[in-house]
Amino acid sequence: MYKKVVLENGLRIITVPIKSTGAVTILILTEVGSKYETREVNGISHFIEHMIFKGTQKRPTTQEVSSALDRVGGEYNAFTGGEFTGYWAKVDAKHLDLALDWISDIFLNSKFDEKEIEREKGVIIEEINMRLDMPTSYVFDLWDKLLYQDQPAGWPISGEKETVAKLEKGDFFEYSANHYSSRNTVVCLAGNFESKIALEKAKKYFKKIRTNKPKQKLKVIEKQSKPQVLNYFKETDQTHFCLGVRGYDLFHPQRYTQGVIATILGGPMSSRLFISVRDKHGLAYYIHTLSDSSTDTGCLVTHAGVDNKNVDKALELILKEYKSLKEGEIDKEELQKAKDYLKGRLYLALESSEAQASFYTNQELLTRKILTPEEEVKKIDKVTLNDIRKVAQDIFRREKLNLASIGPAKEKETYLNILENSL
């Protein structure tokens, strides 16, 4: 039983009381991320996320910021995406006031100290280097680059090392002033508390939030008329790849069908691709298919890592399953299994206070509409066999295919040939 309140200044506050826990989570989500950046400051949304923990007037040093919740066993962190930046803290419910004071302080009063900025540049550059050394993760950056090219949606969230190195103190103040506002921010409290009391506390701690009109992001432009391939050369024992298609955004009525299709293909261990690529042919240790939707883009993508000599075979097996669904090879039993899996995963994922906070806040921030878990389940249950066939025929088309890979292959013609002769 969540409750949402919109304050006069535009700030949205959501309370989600959970009597079965002794904890409380506070999550702040702001509608700003790498999609809001220009090329000159690419990476600044993520950099600001780091700097938020580097000191305020009340807690001047990094150590004072971190020790405030450390001393009560609290957990805290932050994250940046293409369309949002989030800050959260989780504590024993009796420390709600401390957590609110702490998280509102770092969110509203960060100093952006020049020395700390220069020091943190090294940290972020090492984070970028680490991701470059993790092909299972970095291949998703290549996937975005392939789909969206030279526009914010195609740029890395962490930025490039060159752009990060050039950022200055003034950039942080200007960017945060333009993008951090009550009008594009949601604060959620989930856990063991009385909603009315928690709401009044949240109002008090966030009363000084900026109320300016935030800058908007550019609309993503999608252009594709034939299969596309992007190879990143690296001497690896495996080739890691993302193979998939453009799909539906958060507002499309068939995004739930897209999610069910992803589950049928590469969800649980009994999904089609796990059985085909791993169990029957022994080609991969990991393989899964994801459905991803944002406010203006969407995709369905299969992610796997295989021996370099087996890439062609793995791609052909995946494309065979795409084609199978496109041709309607599915029955009621398989559809129901995928639905039940998604519903079960939804309820299991919502057991913690931080998961509850994320569930409600993400919806409110990105769609301005909140569905309860029960309403989400109804959306999943409405997917029919006919929906599966129609969506599969719409998205699994040759001209929508994309392949991003990391491995020792230097030529992309072989991969292109496989895509062009499929579906």
Give pLDDT, residue 203: 97
Give pLDDT, residue 97: 98
Give pLDDT, residue 1: 86
Q: Quickly name the fold that domain 228-420 has.
A: Cytochrome Bc1 Complex; Chain A, domain 1 (3.30.830)
Retrieve residue 102's tokens.
Answer: 């702490």
- For 211-246, the pLDDT digits (tens) are 999 999 999 999 999 999 999 999 999 999 999 999
Q: Over the chain, what is the mean pLDDT?
A: 97
CA distance 402 to 265: 17
- For 260-304, the pLDDT digits (tens) are 999 999 999 999 999 999 999 999 999 999 999 999 999 999 999
Active site residues: 49
pLDDT tier, 414 (very low <50, low <70, confident <90, very high otherwise): very high
Q: Does position 340 have pLDDT exceeding 90, yes or no? A: yes
Sheet-wide strand order for 85-92: 3-6, 12-17, 185-191, 23-30, 85-92, 75-80
CA distance 130 to 64: 28
Q: Does position 410 have pLDDT exceeding 90, yes or no? A: no
- For 97-151, the pLDDT digits (tens) are 999 999 999 999 999 999 999 999 999 999 999 999 999 999 999 999 999 999 9
CA distance 370 to 62: 36
Beta strands in 294-393 (DSSP E): 298-307
Distances (CA, A) of 350 to 13, 188, 189, 291: 19, 15, 14, 19
Other beta carbons less than 10 A from residue 93's beta carbon: 17
Tell me if domain 3-205 and domain 228-420 are identical in fold. yes
Section 28-49 average pLDDT: 98
Q: Quickly name the fold that domain 3-205 has.
A: Cytochrome Bc1 Complex; Chain A, domain 1 (3.30.830)
Q: Does position 307 have pLDDT exceeding 90, yes or no? A: yes
Burial 108-146 (b: 16+ CB within 10 A, else e): bebbbbeebbeebbeebbeebeebeeebeebbbbbbbbb
Domain ranges, ordered by start, for the chain: 3-205, 228-420
Give pLDDT, residue 411: 86
Q: Which of 330, 345, 321, 420 is nearest to 384 (CA)?
A: 330
Give pLDDT, residue 306: 98
Give pLDDT, residue 321: 98
Section 404-414 average pLDDT: 94
Other beta carbons less than 10 A from residue 389's beta carbon: 17
Least confident among 50-54, 223-227, 407-411:
407-411
Q: Could you tell me if 157 and 33 are in contact, meaning their C-beta atoms sit under 8 angstroms apart? A: yes
Sign, Cα dihedral of 63, 204, 1, 98 = positive
